[in-house]
Amino acid sequence: MTAAELRGTRGAPSGDAKTNGQSGSEPPSPLDALREALNAALRGKREVVEMVLACLLARGHLLVEDLPGFGKTTLAKALASAIGGRFSRIQCTPDLLPGDITGFSIFNQETRAFEFKAGPVFADVLLADEINRATPRTQSALLEVMAERQVTIDNTSHALPDRFFVIATQNPIELHGTFPLPEAQLDRFAIKLHIGPPSDEHLKQLLEASVGWLSDAQREASQVIDHDQLIRLQRQTADVAAAPPLVDYLVRLAEALGRHTQVVYPVSPRGLLIWLRLAQAWAVLDLRDYTTPDDVRVVAQSVLGVRLGIDAAAVEEVVSEVLAEVDVPDYKYDAG
Amino acid sequence: MDALRESLRRANWPLLTMVGLTSLLVGIGCVGPSGAGPLDVALAVGLWAAAVAGHLYVVRRERLASHWIVLALVAALLSPALQFLFFSPPATGLTPLATGCLIGLRNVILLAAVFSKAPRFERMAASASAFLVLVAFSLGDGLAVFLAAMFYTAAAVWWLMNRHWAAISRRRVAGRHTRLPWFGVTTIASCMALLVFAAVLLYPGSGRSLQDSLLEWLYGDDDSLSMKMEANRFNLEQETLEDLADDKYGENNAKSAGGRGGDSSDRMFKQASDFSTIRRPPDAQNQDTGQSMFFVQGPAAVHLPVTHYRDFDGATLKAESPSLTMGPRVSSFLRGDQAWKTLLDPKNRLLSEGDLGAGDMSFSLDAMKSMDADAIEELRRLAAQYVGADRPSVSPEFQSLDVAGLERALGDTRYWGRNMQYLGTHYDLDLLVEELQNDPQAMALLMEMAFNRQEGDEQRFADYLRRWRKQRPGPALPAEMAEVVQRWIEGKPPGRRQIDAVVEHLRADYQHDPTATAPADEPDSVRYFLLESKRGPDYLFATSATVILRSLGYPSRVVGGYYAPPEQFNWLTGRGEVRNDDVHFWTQVWVADLGVWLDLEPTPGYDMPHPPQPIGERLAAVYASAGDWAAKNAAWVTTVALVLVVVMLSRAVWTDLLATAWWRWRTRRRGDTSERAQRRLILRTCRLIERRAKFAGAARPAGTTWCDWVTPLFDDEPERQRDLRRLGRLANWAAFAPKRCSPPSHADYDQATAFCRAIVAKVTRRRLRPQTKRPASQRRVSQTRDPQQRTYTRLQPGTTS
């Protein structure tokens, strides 16, 4: 996959133009269409949208943490409808049982056999709302689903669709009666995002645009990218080149993080893999077929937000310290 | 295990190295001249190992109770006092108090190094160890001390760099060490290696090639050196001093016909032989000179006597006694000011009792031994005249007496006192003959003594001679020479002053010239040297000095041997080399008060052994000579200094010009438009810009990528900023994209050369200077921007172009 092909997918050959600007009458690339759809749903949060897209391209699961009403669910639903397919939503509560999300076997009187009733996880996009309110037992039921994209019930494995994508939200306040996600669970998420409040300008736009609409549901976006296109994009992401100095840089970053006194858990190999994958995804979003240290650095905060076993503020501090400490690879010509 | 590894990683290795070398230096540097034993080294290393272990243990601890440490430090300082209570103080060349202070300080340093996690103990250990190393370095000498001090310097530089680096590095994360950049370490290390190398090469004493010195040092007293010594000893046995002297001074005129006479076995046993002062000039073509023979310990000039010459007949020096063989005994190394003690130490057997002049010296009238046939005839004639007057006829033995017979006859007599032995000169014979002519009574006395022995004759003759010698005022020399010598000693009280005056005048008024030998037909080389040529080889200086001193009444003799010149001292090995052309002649005078022969050096250009100078005086001499040199070459020094100052002040300009020229040369067009060439061009351009920014004081922090770095650089010039970001994008491709990947923007790629040249031309060092450093006229108020927007542009992909 070359950069030219990448550009072909979006139809706009110029690398200098703004990525989200449609040039002339050319039809938008699937990536731009997706970006546009998400931006329309979540106003003024382009950086968040980019990260969500990167997460999608990297085939990682997304954890969104923010206050209620900031658009977590809106974002998830917009994404689900934009990539099409089935969307299910689990509202996590302390009495939610594993069977409620994975499905269960039921005895069919007519066929005299057990029949598997698929649960809500059998979807293309799964929104687990307020995931930290579910019991550890339920949370861990999601482990297998997220890591292996399959559900095993009564010794039978049921495969999930290959674009299965989990968006979990959690609420950083009202911690009464919540079960913080265990590290094992957190590591299965690719990134953690904060949406944050929109700027005044976008808030005004939002309010103005709401006039005349009975409910949000009415303007749910339509599907803008089909299954094959998404798979192809994910394929492209996996193909993005990572030069040896870059891999070395990633390893050095991980090593420096492990050495840091504040870090509780070092970055796992899976964490490093997903970090690289997100950097690759960022390169794809930038229409490149090779990753650069800049890509690695841009996604670092989001990737490490679910990994180091420390709170969000500390993560930001530690990651910026480590990024400033570890030497970026030099501009050296490598004949290989 | 992990804890240990972590401790090893976090240990303060530069300081530990410094402390270890200090401990070693105190062990080997402050111990007396006998040198450090393996025990001292083992103690130093053991203490250091203990300190390292303690440090590794302490480095993991969180808190340090410092009052206990201070107490422990005080205890360490006082520890030698306790040690001395129970054990005798170590045998060093210092007073016990000084030794105690040094050892206490060393213990303090070791203990402070254990707790060097605390900055004040670290500083304490470092500064105290620097002091201790200075002391040890000034006290000790030898290669081991020198090397240890060199390594200490290297470790100290390493430590200082680490401290400096930690202080200046803004990237330092609390509680962790940052590594030194390898570039800096290797630069410093190679500079130090160069300095050491230059010191080895330029040291004034290293007359020989470095390779030889190193080999000699490496093999030291080992087999190869002793093999060398064996070879030299063999040579020494084969070649007597006389042969070597022939090589150096040219051959004896008298035996020129046969070359080196006698067979080798004869020469081997004939250890001492006479030395003619009438010689040909040395052969300039002689290839055998300059061969190493043996080594002498210590840097001082050393005179090594081999043969003593007591008598001189105007042409030939007569060897006094069978001399000592040179080989192994002299090559047992003599050290500096210890040389004379060692030489004179009877246990050493370097000099026999007789050499010391304190033994039983049998009398012989050697001054008259060299009487020739003419003189005997003269005596016979005088005796006949005298006999004819009032005595019976001359006895028949006297009538038929020949030279050998007279010598034998005179040799049996014992008249001259012990002190007269080294007083006679060949002039005395002439004077005596002259005196006898005028004194028939004395003549008769002599005759009677020689041939008609009577009781009391001997005593009478001895008294006569003494009286005669005493009656003569001034030097017992021919008139012309006596006049010269009299001028020299005018107004000088007898004794050392007169001796010094003679030596000083010889050294000052006469020139050392190995080729100015006495002509073959000259009967009296001393007269020729003193009055006519006034220049000559060292044996003429030595002979003349001896003759003059004897004529003044000071017992003295000529010594032949070897001279170890200070120039041939090899400071690496601590030994001076003696070559086969270091044969030398000098004078010794008998000092009755001390009972020793004192060396005198009448030849200019040869030094007398003197005790080693204190280090302060040596340094002062070096500074003084450097100052003199600078004063002499003031114009050059000033010019060079000014140029250096100018270059230093404008070094940024120079280095930038050089770097740009280098860039131009490396990226010159050679019709190569391959992707590889383009990538290199782009990356080189980036590095040039980075270097310029470094010179301008706005270096890219190592933890920042190019794109992040250039973003705030040209806030006021969006176009320049955009160019730099485009360059960064290209560079990212050039550095990190495999071959199959195409460049980010074909437009940029195609014009890469022009683009890079434009950037190099526009993004100058001056423009890269940080705003605060620019002059006010160039400073522009940067447009205020929404910080949110900045974040957005950085995060938003696709906008980096």
- Rounded mean pLDDT of B682-688? 89
pLDDT digits (tens, 9 = 90+) for A192-222: 888 888 888 888 888 887 787 776 655 556 7
Kindly list the residues from chain B whose CB atom is less than 8 angstroms away from the CB atom of residue A16: 745, 747, 801
Shortest distance, CA B624 to any CA of chain A (angstroms): 50
Which ipTM did the prediction report? 0.82
pLDDT digits (tens, 9 = 90+) for B136-178: 877 766 677 778 888 898 888 888 888 877 766 544 444 444 5
Kindly list the residues from chain A whose CB atom is less than 8 angstroms away from the CB atom of residue B701: 324
- Provide the token pair at A132: 């930290």
Cross-chain Cβ contact A47/B792 below 8 Å: yes
Cross-chain Cβ contact B705/A328 below 8 Å: yes
For B707, which residue in chain A has the nearest alpha carbon? A294
C-beta contacts of A244-248 below 8 A and 24+ residues apart:
A244/A334, A244/A336, A245/A329, A245/A330, A245/A332, A245/A334, A245/B735, A245/B736, A246/A279, A246/A291, A246/A292, A246/A293, A246/A296, A246/A329, A246/B736, A247/A276, A248/A329
Kindly list the residues from chain B whose CB atom is less than 8 angstroms away from the CB atom of residue A324: 171, 701, 703-704
**Nearest CA to B700 among B711, B692, B708, B709?**
B709
Q: What is the DSSP letter of B600?
A: E
The Cβ of residue B335 has, within 10 Å, a number of other Cβ atoms equal to 18
For B739, which residue in chain A has the nearest alpha carbon? A336
Which is more confidently placed, B500 or B237?
B500
The predicted structure's pLDDT at residue B526: 85
- Rounded mean pLDDT of A164-183? 80
The predicted structure's pLDDT at residue B420: 44
Shortest distance, CA B749 to any CA of chain A (angstroms): 12
Kindly list the residues from chain B whose CB atom is less than 8 angstroms away from the CB atom of residue A282: 797
Name the 3-class secondary structure at B604: coil
For A290, which residue in chain B has the nearest alpha carbon? B737
The Cβ of residue B416 has, within 10 Å, a number of other Cβ atoms equal to 20
Kindly list the residues from chain A whose CB atom is less than 8 angstroms away from the CB atom of residue B702: 327-328
Name the 3-class secondary structure at B776: coil
Is residue B602 a contact partner of residue B506, using CB atoms and an 8 Å limit? yes
Q: For strands B511-512 and A189-193, give the pairing.
A: unpaired
For B796, the closest of A3, A46, A293 (CB atoms) is A46
For B737, the closest of A241, A287, A330 (CB atoms) is A241
Alpha carbons B33 and B758: distance in angstroms, whole number: 70
Kindly list the residues from chain B whose CB atom is less than 8 angstroms away from the CB atom of residue A291: 736
Backbone angles phi, psi at B524, to 5 degrees: -130, 100
Name the 3-class secondary structure at B704: coil
The predicted structure's pLDDT at residue B642: 94
Task: Judge whether residue B708 has pLDDT over 60.
Answer: yes
Kindly list the residues from chain A whose CB atom is less than 8 angstroms away from the CB atom of residue B10: none
Give residues with Cβ within 8 angstroms of A312, minimum separation 6. Answer: A65, A192, A194, A305
B190-199, B393-402, B536-545, B650-659: least confidently modelled range: B393-402
Task: Judge whether residue B335 has pLDDT over 50.
Answer: no
Percent of chain A with pLDDT over 90: 10
Q: For strands A189-193 and A61-65, give the pairing.
A: parallel
- Provide the token pair at B133: 């190393």
- Rounded mean pLDDT of B235-254? 59
The predicted structure's pLDDT at residue B791: 39
Cross-chain Cβ contact B703/A324 below 8 Å: yes
pLDDT digits (tens, 9 = 90+) for B374-390: 655 656 665 555 554 44
Shortest distance, CA A276 to any CA of chain B (angstroms): 14
- Provide the token pair at B147: 């090397």
Q: Which of A22, A280, A292, A296 would you mutate first to test chain B, the one with the most B CBs within 10 A?
A: A292
One DSSP character per residue, B360-376 reads ------GGGTT--HHHH
- Provide the token pair at A329: 């690879």
Cross-chain Cβ contact B702/A328 below 8 Å: yes
A92-96, A260-264, B326-330, B382-386: least confidently modelled range: B326-330
Task: Judge whether residue B529 has pLDDT over 80.
Answer: yes
Kindly list the residues from chain A whose CB atom is less than 8 angstroms away from the CB atom of residue B732: 290, 292-294
Give residues with Cβ within 8 angstroms of A6, minimum separation 6. Answer: A236, A284, A287, A288, A289
For A332, the closest of B173, B735, B743 (CB atoms) is B735
pLDDT digits (tens, 9 = 90+) for B287-322: 555 666 666 655 555 667 667 776 676 777 766 644
Q: Which of B726, B732, B800 would you mutate first to test chain A, the one with the most A CBs within 10 A?
A: B732
Cross-chain Cβ contact A261/B797 below 8 Å: no
Q: Tell me how many residue pairs between chain A and chain B have CB atoms under 8 A apart.
A: 127
Percent of chain B with pLDDT over 70: 54
The predicted structure's pLDDT at residue B723: 86
For A321, which residue in chain B has the nearest alpha carbon? B173
